[in-house]
Every structure is written in structure tokens, then in C-alpha cells.
Structure 1
Amino acid sequence: MARSFSNLFFKAAKKISKLQRTALRMASPKPARKRATPPRKTATKTASPATAARQPATPSLGNGRWEGTRQFSDGKGRQLTFARYTPAGATPGHLPVVVMLHGCRQTALAFARGTRMNQWADAGGFMVLYPQQSMTRQVQRCWRWFQPDDAHGGAEADLIAALIQSEVARHGLDPERVYVAGLSAGAGMAALVALRHPSLVAAVAMHSGPVVGDAHSAAAGIGTMRRGSLKPLASLVRDVADPAVFELGMPALILHGQLDPAVAPRNAKQLFEQFRALNDPRPEDVPVERVLGLGSEKAYRRVDLMRGRKTVLRLCEITRLEHAWSGGDPSVKYHARNGPDASALVWRFFQGLRRAGAGGPGSGD
């Protein structure tokens, strides 16, 4: 179903784009200037992908170690490609880890460049994992949040959780500080990972994401993106979550552009209500609202739900942002200069949160 949906949706656009590129090549003369000898330092472009994956990160990917196109297998025949970033100057053992899930038609590399999360990893001292959806599972690299059953989106969430557990054990990472964040379809998958594995994940961040559990097919996913859900929100979560999440809670950060034409901003408000119910609401807990950056391109409205002095739920409604990662690298598709730095907001939210007792037998399964 996901494949047929994607083909219908993108077939025409792909054909038009191909015709436009052909027309441009035919209409444009070959400029002589481009035949000039390039600077010597560009010779590194001839390196093989395998060699490039082992090379130190370029400035756009941070100052630490970037390892691209790695492969993980869960021992059940399921495989997942991912990239790993280790921050500059990191000492082995007990680092936090942030798992970043890209959106449709993105790659791990593009997401790392666009979000600039690696630079925050250098500053904050945490590892970053970038799982990458396979085109054999979904032709546009969309995580299948719109099919949350055990055979599709649920299976992908479980595979990502298995990757996290493997990396925590292999690198001696801090099992109490495991965080998951995503953009668009990646936000939908981040929610599934967190809800299905609440004893593994300490907190989740969802940027421009759909309401949880509303869609159960690719076609229904379009409806969810356009209008949010028309169903009771609490029951939608129960249908896709591990029951333990209702006892453990799940701290969540929700970010959404108010000009988003792809995923209606109503989804963000409904996500807030869904995660508010998960975090043990009490009558005395009244959300605290603030407007930051008023009058600038970084303006946003922030709504916080507190537990004592700790924020367990935060909604950021970004005034001048469309469907893109806020405050990212605008040269990378689906990332915008407008809005506050989402990567900074994500890491600052995660910093003070832990999953006490995580990493024991059966954690996350």
C-alpha cells in the first residue's frame, strides 16, 4: 500500500523534473570556464564511499568522527543502515546518545548536515545515531508511521530500538540518557519508538510530526497530515503503545511551523494533548505560556508543562516556519533559516531528563 501510494503521489513530479533537467542541458551551452583546473584539495572527492565513511568529519558535519553507511542486523534477518557521529574529544563510556530520524526523501547524511546536530554533540558531549530508511521498504524513504502495526511501522520502530540497544552496549553509552528526535515522517517514527520502548527512551522530540496512532494506511496518513485526528486522542495512543508508558510517562518536545502546508499545525496541539495524558496530569499542573523572539524571524510561542522545576512537556509553535527543520542549514532541502535553532532546543530539553533504571534485563522489549 505504501509503495502504490508513493508512486501515485510522486510519479508525475519525477517525470516533470526529469524533462526540465533535460531541457536545461539542451538549452544551456557548455561554459568554458568550468574546464579550469580545480583546486588540489578537491581531489579528495575521488575517494570511495567506504573510505569516505572512515574519514574525519568535514566542518559541516562537526569536528568529531563521522561514520556513514554502517549496517546493523538484529539477528532476525532485519537490517538497518545508519550513520554514527562521535563528538570531538569524547572520552569512552557513558555518553548520552541522541537518535535522529530523517523525513521522507532524506538521507542520514542530509539530515545531519541540515540540522547541524553534530555541532551540538561536540558542545554537549553526546553521540548521535542517524538510522536511514531503506528504499526497498518505502520507495521515498518514509518511515511508515502511517502503518503502526507490528508488520510495518511497528517493526521499524523495534528495529531502531534494537540498534540503540546494540550501540549502547557496544560503546558503553549511558542507558539512562537515550533520546529520540525526528522530522515529519521521522517525528512519527520517533513517537512510535518512544511509545513502544518507554523503558529504553528517556525523552522524545517531534518536529512537524503527525498525531500518534490516527492513520493505519498510506491514504489515511494523508488525511492525518491535512487535518489531524477526528478520533478520541487517548485511545489512539493506547492502540500503539506499550502499556508501561502509562506508568513511566514520556517527556516530549513538540515543534511545529505555523505556516506548515504539509502537516497541519493542529497535529502539534493534538500531540501535546496526547503526551500530556501520558505524563500523569494533575489539576494543579497548569501549562506556562511564553512568546519568545517577538517581532523577529525566530519568534515562537512556547507552552510548558512542569513537574516541580522540571519541564516534562513542551510545545513550540514557530511563527514564520513552513515544513522544515527550524533554524537549520537552508542550503539543505527541508531545513530553514527561519525560526529558533531546533537542534539547540532539542538538546537543551533532553539534557535534564533521564530514564531511571534503564538498561536492565528486557529493557525496551
Structure 2
Amino acid sequence: MARSFSNLFFKAAKKISKLQRTALRMASPKPARKRATTPRKSATKTATKTASSAAATRQPATPSLGNGRWEGTRQFSDGKGRQLTFARYTPAGATPGRMPVVVMLHGCRQTALAFARGTRMNQWADAGGFMVLYPQQSMTRQVQRCWRWFQPDDAHGGAEADLIAALIESEVARHGLDAERVYVAGLSAGAGMAALVALRHPSLIAAVAMHSGPVVGDAHSAAAGISTMRRGSLKPLPSLVRDVADPAAFELGMPALILHGQLDPAVAPRNAKQLFEQFRALNHPRPEDMPIERVLGLGSEKAYRRVDLTRGRKTVLRLCEITRLEHAWSGGDPSVKYHARNGPDASALVWRFFQGLRRVGAGEPGAGA
């Protein structure tokens, strides 16, 4: 047994010695030829990377950002120490003059850039000749970049709405935009903020579009906001609007477009119906103003039910209930989160609704829609 053990020991020692020699060879400096080729490969790789970066810098904006001028991560200050990051898109072929402007408010966990790419609103700006502004919520205000529609008081959501309004006024003055054709639209939390901006500044905003948004004025805390999203409101709807709106909103009215997916698991579709009732009351309904219902795209992935409330030949309120859509921008770029291929092109619906509306005498006492 001792002899057997000795044999095993020497065999093991021999094997260990062989492994050590192999390890030493691997640790030894490589031949000069190999050392000389390594820097050349590294230099080639670095040069290729540098050339690629330079080429990327020279390339124009991606097609999803349109053919015009994209200016990202700009900064606005209202003179009171409050700052807001935003992006600006000027359409291709724009000429100095009174262009309309559409303000786009992203949802939670989104950025201005992602919202621009996902909605493709810039392409409609190229076609329609309007400027687009994309305010972006700060993560220092809300860690998930949610606009604080669920805290509509003057210190939180109301302050954010006022800051966005100040940005709009500054851009209108700076670029000579058409003050009578200023519109605001948003998705989810952005829809909630779009409603606050429109209701707090009715003489500035000609019309509002709310996609997958919550009922107005129901929530006053983050926890209450989640409850509102899940079930809508159990409170009297007109009084909720009065609590958050400038009194002038009831005199001027506020044309509104409401879009909502019927499969939305995040914001219950009941919210859309309640928003319709809130803005119906705000736009002074008359007995003869009966809603007109239509179903479009029946049997296709773009199917939706449309309910219009008209005043003369003008649609002042529209509800689009999109059959096969969840919590996402309808007809957007599905490669961008919170945007879906299903449903009609929401950006097209938004712009077409806005086109026929203006705030006559915007910024002046007695302005009207």
C-alpha cells in the first residue's frame, strides 16, 4: 500500500511540475512579432471607432425625428429659479411667420426624445408646418419622470403646469408663433398634465388632446392617483374641474380630444368616458348638441369608436375608444416603449383635430375659442 501511495505521489508531482512549466510559458512575454501586431490592431480598432463616431455625428437626425431641425436638451428658466428641460422641433422648409405650435407631454419613464420618436409627431409637423415643443420632466421632481397631475396644487402639479405655460409663452414670443394656435397633447401622466395646463391657462391654449389619461381633479396624492387610474372617479365630475381650473375656462370653453385603448390595464377606460363628460360640461352643451357616434376601421387592428360633439360645423369634443389598444400611443412606433402599432395614427388624429381650432384674441381679455 505504501509503494502504491509513493507511485501515486510521484505521478502527481510529475503532473504538477508539467502544469507549472505550462503556466510559466503562458506567463512569459510574447514574441516580438505578436507584441508588434497588438498595438496595430488596437490602433485600427480605435481609428475605426473614432471614424464611426465622427460619421454618426455628421449624419442627420434619424427618420423618426423628421426632416427638419431637432434641438434636444434645451433649458428654460421662468425667472423665478424654476427650470425646465425641453426639446424643440422646427419643421423642414419652415419660413419665418406665425406657425402653430403643438406641445407634447410624455408619460412616466419616458423622455422627450423617446416621445418624439414613438409618436412620429415631427413628420406631421413637416406636413402641417407647425413647431413642436417637448417639455421633459426632471427626475429630481419625480423619480420616474411622471408629471404630477395627481398633486394639482400650486406647489406641485399646478406649478409644473404654470412652468410649461411660461415656456410656451416664451417660445411664442421668441419665434413669432401664432398665439391663436397653441395646442397641448399628452400621454398618460402627460395627458393629466396637458389637462392641467389647458385648464389653468385657457386663454393660452386653443385645444387639448389627452391620450390614455386620468379623469381631471380626482387625485390629490400619489396613492390617490393610482386609485383614480384603476377605477376613475366616484365624485361629482363638474366640481372636480372647478377645483383645478381657472374660472375663465368655463367662459371660454376648451375643445378636447380624448383617446383611450379599451384594453388598457394601467388607466381604466372609464377615465376616458368621465373626461368626455367633464369637457362636455366645460364646452357649454346645448340641448341640440347631440353626440354623433361612428365606428371606423371595423374588423381591423385600427378599429375604434368615435363620439363627436359639434358646434355648428366645428367639432369641439371628440372621444376615440380604440378597440385593440393597451396602454400605449396608438399607431406609433412599436420599437419605442409605450407606443403601439395597433390602432389609428394618434398623431394624425391629434393634428387633424387641432387644425380647425384657434383661440381668437389669445392673451387678450375676453379671448374666445
TM-score by length of 1: 0.85
CA distance in structure 1 between the aligned counterparts of 2:205 and 2:337, rounded to whole angstroms: 28
Deviation sequence 1:253-292 (CA, Å, 0-9, x none): 0000000000000000000000000001001110000000
Q: What is the CA distance between 1:323 and its match in structure 2?
A: 0.1
Structure 1 residue aligned with 2:79: 75
SS of residue in 1 equivalent to 2:364: coil
Where 2:281 maps in the other structure, the secondary structure is helix
- Using a 3 Å threshold, how does the CA distance of structure 1 residues 72 and 309 change in structure 2: closer, same or farther? same
Instruction: Tell me if structure 2 keeps the 8 A contact 1:54–1:68.
Output: no
* CA distance in structure 2 between the partners assigned to 1:325 and 1:248 by the alignment: 29
8 Å CA contact 2:293–2:306 kept in 1: the answer is: yes
1:285 aligns with 289
Kindly tell me: are residues 77 and 319 of structure 1, through their superposed partners in 2, closer, same or farther at Cα, counting changes over 3 Å? same
Sort the Cα spacing of 1:59 and 1:283 in 2 relative to 1 into closer, same or farther, 3 A: same
TM-superposed deviation, 1:58:
2.2
Larger radius of gyration: 2
Shift of 1:360: 3.6
- Confirm whether residue 303 of structure 1 aligns to residue 311 of structure 2: no
Q: CA 1:174/1:23 → structure 2, altered by over 3 Å: closer, same or farther?
A: farther
- Whether 1:171 aligns to 2:175 is yes
CA gap 1:19/1:307 in 2 versus in 1, 3 angstroms: farther
Distance (whole Å) between structure 2 residues aligned to residue 244 and residue 173 of structure 1: 23
Q: Structure 2: how far apart are the matches of 1:310 and 1:10?
A: 99
Cα offset, 1:57, TM superposition: 2.7
Report deviation, 1:171: 0.2
SS of structure 2 residue aligned to 1:16:
helix
- Cα–Cα, structure 1 residues 284 and 3, in superposed 2: closer, same or farther, change >3 Å? farther
Provide structure 1 residue ranges, at least 5 long, that are not aligned to the other structure: none
The 1:52–1:354 alpha-carbon spacing in structure 2 relative to 1, beyond 3 Å, is: farther
Structure-1 residue corresponding to 2:98: 94
Question: Do the aligned partners of 1:53 and 1:66 also contact (CA within 8 Å) in 2?
Answer: no
Q: Is the 8 A contact 2:252 2:368 kept in 1?
A: no
Offset of 1:93 from its aligned partner?
1.6
Query: 2:72, 2:241 → 1: CA distance?
Result: 34
> Would the alpha carbon gap of residues 14 and 333 (structure 1) be closer, same or farther in structure 2, given more than 3 Å must change?
farther
Deviation for aligned residue 1:33:
25
Structure 1 pair 122/51, CA: closer, same or farther in 2 (3 Å)?
Answer: same
**What is the CA–CA distance in structure 1 between the aligned matches of 2:246 and 2:8, rounded to whole Å?**
34
Superposed displacement of residue 43, structure 1: 9.8
Structure-2 change in CA distance of 1:60 and 1:292 (3 Å): same
Query: How far did residue 13 of structure 1 move?
Result: 53
Across the aligned residues of Structure 1 and Structure 2, the Cα RMSD in angstroms comes to: 14.3
Q: What whole-Å deviation, never above 9, does each CA across 1:2-57 have from its counterpart, x for those lacking one?
A: 99999999999999999999999999999999999999999999799999999853
Identity of aligned residues (%): 95
Q: Distance in 1 between matches of 2:184 and 2:119?
A: 14
What CA distance in whole angstroms lies between the structure 2 residues aligned with 1:228 and 1:285? 25
Asked if structure 1 preserves the Cα contact closer than 8 Å seen for 2:361 and 2:368, the reply is no
- CA deviations 1:52-92 (Å, max 9, x no partner) are 99985321100000000000000000000000000000001
CA 1:8–1:339 in 2, change beyond 3 Å: closer, same or farther? Answer: farther
Q: Aligned equivalents of 1:184 and 1:227: distance in 2?
A: 15
Secondary structure of 2:132's aligned partner = strand
1:54–1:67 Cα contact (<8 Å) kept = no
Deviations 1:219-238 (A, max 9, x none): 00000000000000000000
1:336 aligned partner: 340
Extract unaligned runs of 5+ from structure 2: none
The equivalent position to 2:274 in structure 1, one of 253, 264, 270, is: 270
Q: Which residue of 2 aligns with 1:16?
A: 16
Partner residue, 1:212: 216
Pair 1:54–1:346, CA change in 2 (3 A): farther
2:362 to 352, 358, 363: 358
Distance 2:3 2:102 in 1: 29
> How far apart, in 2, do the equivalents of 1:50 and 1:171 lie?
32
Q: Secondary structure at the match of 1:157?
A: helix
Q: Contact 1:66–1:86 at 8 Å: present in 2 too?
A: yes
Tell me if the contact between 2:360 and 2:368 (Cα under 8 Å) persists in the aligned partners. Answer: no
The counterpart of 1:55, out of the listed 48, 55, 59, is 59
Measured at CA, do residues 292 and 43 of structure 1 come closer, stay the same or move farther in structure 2, by a change above 3 Å? Answer: farther
Note closer, same or farther for the CA distance 1:136–1:297 as it changes in structure 2 (3 Å cut): same
Secondary structure of the 1:38 match is: helix
Is the deviation greater in 24-33 or in 83-92?
A: 24-33
Aligned pair in 2 of structure 1 residues 47, 24: CA closer, same or farther (>3 Å)?
farther
CA distance in 2, matches of 1:136, 1:303: 39
Q: What CA distance in whole angstroms lies between the structure 1 residues aligned with 2:31 and 2:108? A: 35
Contact 1:55 1:66 in 2 (8 A): no
Q: Any conservation in 2 of the 1:97–1:177 contact (CA below 8 Å)?
A: yes
| C-alpha contact 2:359 2:368 (8 A) present in aligned 1 | no
> Is the CA contact 1:107–1:132 (under 8 Å) kept in the aligned structure 2?
yes
Distance in 1 of aligned mates of 2:29 and 2:60: 38
Change (3 A) 1:137 1:11: farther
- CA distance in 1 between partners of 2:5 and 2:203 (Å): 34
